[in-house]
Amino acid sequence: MHATDWLQFALYLGILTLITKPMGLYLMQVLDTNGRTWLDPVVKPVEKLTYRLLGVDPQREHGWKQYTFAMLAFSLVGVVFTYAILRLQHLLPWNPQTLPGLSHHLAFNTAVSFTTNTNWQSYGGEAAMSYFSQMVGLTFHNFVSAAVGIGIAAALVRGIARSSAKTLGNFWADLVRATYYLLLPICVVFALFLVSQGMIQNFDPYTQVKTLEGAEQVIAQGPMASQVAIKMLGTNGGGFMNTNAAHPFENPTPLSNFIQMLSIFSIGSGLTYYLGRMVKNQAHGWAVWAAMVALFLGSVLVCAHYEAVGNPIHQQLGIAAADGNLEGKEVRFGIFNSSLFATITTAASCGAVNSMHDSFTPLGGLVPLFMMELGEVVIGGVGAGLYGMLVFVVLAVFIAGLMVGRTPEYLGKKIQAKEVKLAMLTLLVLTLSILGFTAWACVSGWGVAGLNNSGPHGFSEMLYAYSSATGNNGSAFAGLTANTPWYNTTLGLAMLIGRFLMIVPIMALAGSLAGKQTVPPSAGTFPVNGATFTVLLIGTVLLIGALNFLPALALGPIVEHFLMGQGRLF
């Protein structure tokens, strides 16, 4: 890494740290039905009107089951809504390129993908999606799937913070308030900033160009900035164009790149502060945050190192070794900003890419893969990062309890068999989905047929796909031809499993914790703040991730690394 790389990295971490508290304090107001913000004079009337139109009472709180049912019903309607739009695209407006409707399996995959905040894309945006599909069918979920994730995280935190309570908040209030007070206002400013950097925002037909050498070039257009703002802020990640944030329209300058990277982590980071504030133990919030940032720091350094070292096979051909591995990367971002973006987008469940992960060096590409397999708890997706990390917190506390031989407690709540079972259930389901689907694809004709690379890298493409789908990430080793009935269907199922078989046990956990009485800490209570706890939490995350996935990683990126060193090609 060069000196400027270190400086950029320090600047990134510095600003992220600075926005964590203000974001957390703002979230306190947003996620309180009666909270107050400076936007109230404008937004409050719209909020009230919305509740009236929905026919719901925001003051009536839900128990964990009702909250979950509302979330499931809303998601179901959302899938159908987007599926219909995509199938009927050719009949709907704003389709200047007269693109046809999507096939049933692609429409299913895409509808599920955006509803689950995954944004896996088996299509290329500029070649498949009308402006209406992008703006309505997809952007809708970019907002609401993010708001739902934030709501689930808030419900879990309320469950931890409350004592002997039956309710966890109102789903509709969380959904509407997170959308109106948090996501929309930031996106308006963010989108206009992106346009100022060169991002497009129009409804023009594609532009016909006569190049300087006299050839024809067609330039794709569209209402991009409004969609990209929420794609980053809501950690959705679905690109307007096929190559996502690598496309010069979708990420025109190093500054747009920097702000996009910051936006991915901003809400997730603020939620850790929200946690500390809500449970009245700010040090705990920071301890969780510190564990996330430490894992992030290490990952970035590993990824950037191997991308800068580059590929010895290519260097033997006469390519400058000092340039690192530039295949699939953009000159304006270079090695470091590509590695940093790749780590951020997979640490969070974002999945936008500003370089092609498929062309990373084996160990450089292992980092984003492993980040997803850890459960995207390193800052993580909006809401999903925090509720995923709190599962690990419960396990960490449980492990600490076993070591000292006491009933584990978490912030005054006894952690008993039920809580540990629910926490383990989420982790086992995710692991089973990733490894099970990958194994299935490996031994099936349809699985191998989709590969763009052979040898261990081909295996990595499949492992990456199911890790990304199950983790609701959405980035890809994009050489994989996934737009086939088998891939679209299995990836769609993996996304549903990754989203809802994670959320339902977590909501049950929240309900169970809410019902418990808070007992004051005693001398034998394991403190959940300070360095010891942070180290324990990091250890728990790494241990579970390594136990689950090291064998699979050994068959993919790790063996490829050694073969690359020997000059083997496939």
**Torsion sign (Cα): 148, 200, 242, 296:** negative
Among 112, 135, 152, 291, binds other proteins (CB under 8 A): 135
Distance of alpha carbon 482 from alpha carbon 405, whole angstroms: 49
Verify binding: residue 310, other proteins, rule CB under 8 A: yes
Residues of this chain, 160-199, that bind other proteins according to CB under 8 A: 172, 175-176, 179-180, 184, 187-188, 191-192, 195-199
Among 33, 95, 242, 484, binds other proteins (CB under 8 A): 242
Verify binding: residue 568, other proteins, rule CB under 8 A: yes
Q: Nearest approach, Cβ of 563 to other proteins (angstroms)?
A: 6
Span near other proteins by CB under 8 A; candidates 477-485, 501-509, 522-530, 546-554? 477-485
Q: Which is nearer to other proteins, 355 or 473 (CB)?
A: 355
Verify binding: residue 54, other proteins, rule CB under 8 A: yes
Q: Nearest approach, Cβ of 297 to other proteins (angstroms)?
A: 19
Compute the CA torsion angle 156, 162, 168, 170 (nearest 10 deg). Answer: -120
Spatial contact of 461 and 442, defined as CB atoms under 8 Å apart: no
Distance of alpha carbon 133 from alpha carbon 240, whole angstroms: 11
Span near other proteins by CB under 8 A; candidates 49-57, 404-412, 490-498, 525-533? 49-57
Among 329, 413, 499, 516, binds other proteins (CB under 8 A): 329
Residues of this chain, 402-421, that bind other proteins according to CB under 8 A: none
- Distance, CA of 400 to chain centre: 29
The CA-to-CA distance between both ends of the chain, in Å, stands at: 30
Q: Nearest approach, Cβ of 210 to other proteins (angstroms)?
A: 6
Residues of this chain, 55-94, that bind other proteins according to CB under 8 A: 55-56, 65-66, 69-70, 72-74, 76-78, 81
Among 120, 258, 398, 487, binds other proteins (CB under 8 A): 258
Tokens read off for 519: 């007992």
Q: Comparing C-alpha atoms, which of 506, 497, 494 is closest to residue 388? A: 506
Q: Which is nearer to other proteins, 129 or 279 (CB)?
A: 129
Q: Nearest approach, Cβ of 233 to other proteins (angstroms)?
A: 12
Q: Which is nearer to other proteins, 213 or 404 (CB)?
A: 213
Among 111, 144, 161, 173, binds other proteins (CB under 8 A): 144
Distance of alpha carbon 539 from alpha carbon 548, whole angstroms: 14
Among 436, 455, 485, 521, binds other proteins (CB under 8 A): 455
Span near other proteins by CB under 8 A; candidates 48-56, 368-376, 521-529, 532-540? 48-56
Q: Is 523 left (phi over 0), alpha (psi -120 to 50) or beta?
A: alpha
Pairing relation of β-strands 216-219 and 409-410?
Answer: unpaired
**Torsion sign (Cα): 520, 522, 524, 526:** positive
Q: Nearest approach, Cβ of 300 to other proteins (angstroms)?
A: 16
Name, in order, each residue with C-beta under 8 angstroms of 374's C-beta and a sequence gap of 6 or more: 295, 541, 542, 545
Place of tokens 């728990």: 540
Helix residue ranges, H only, 162-281:
171-177, 184-196, 225-233, 254-278
Residues of this chain, 340-399, that bind other proteins according to CB under 8 A: 353-356, 358-362, 365
Distance of alpha carbon 247 from alpha carbon 242, whole angstroms: 8
Place of tokens 């800068």: 308
Q: Which is nearer to other proteins, 539 or 570 (CB)?
A: 570
Spatial contact of 471 and 349, defined as CB atoms under 8 Å apart: yes
Span near other proteins by CB under 8 A; candidates 17-25, 46-54, 507-515, 546-554? 46-54
Tokens read off for 469: 């789908």
Amino acid at 162: R
The size of the interface with other proteins (CB under 8 A), counted in residues, is: 131
Q: Nearest approach, Cβ of 254 to other proteins (angstroms)?
A: 3
Verify binding: residue 564, other proteins, rule CB under 8 A: yes
Verify binding: residue 449, other proteins, rule CB under 8 A: no
Distance of alpha carbon 429 from alpha carbon 470, whole angstroms: 9
Q: Nearest approach, Cβ of 255 to other proteins (angstroms)?
A: 4
Distance of alpha carbon 264 from alpha carbon 133, whole angstroms: 23
Span near other proteins by CB under 8 A; candidates 52-60, 421-429, 491-499, 518-526? 52-60
Helix (H, G, I), strand (E, B) or coil at 490: helix
Residues of this chain, 201-240, that bind other proteins according to CB under 8 A: 201-204, 206-215, 217-221, 223, 225-227, 229-230
Q: Which is nearer to other proteins, 91 or 317 (CB)?
A: 317
Q: Which is nearer to other proteins, 221 or 490 (CB)?
A: 221
Q: Nearest approach, Cβ of 22 to other proteins (angstroms)?
A: 22
Q: Which is nearer to other proteins, 361 or 534 (CB)?
A: 361
Residues of this chain, 501-560, that bind other proteins according to CB under 8 A: 560
Q: Nearest approach, Cβ of 87 to other proteins (angstroms)?
A: 17
Q: Nearest approach, Cβ of 115 to other proteins (angstroms)?
A: 11
Q: Which is nearer to other proteins, 193 or 446 (CB)?
A: 193
Spatial contact of 342 and 237, defined as CB atoms under 8 Å apart: no
**Torsion sign (Cα): 434, 440, 442, 446:** negative
Q: Comparing C-alpha atoms, which of 377, 381, 330 is closest to residue 356? A: 330
Name, in order, each residue with C-beta under 8 angstroms of 388's C-beta and a sequence gap of 6 or more: 375, 376, 377, 380, 502
Name, in order, each residue with C-beta under 8 angstroms of 5's C-beta and a sequence gap of 6 or more: 304, 336
Amino acid at 185: P
Amino acid at 533: F
Q: Which is nearer to other proteins, 38 or 562 (CB)?
A: 562
Distance of alpha carbon 472 from alpha carbon 243, whole angstroms: 19
Verify binding: residue 44, other proteins, rule CB under 8 A: no
Verify binding: residue 119, other proteins, rule CB under 8 A: no
Span near other proteins by CB under 8 A; candidates 252-260, 343-351, 500-508, 510-518? 252-260
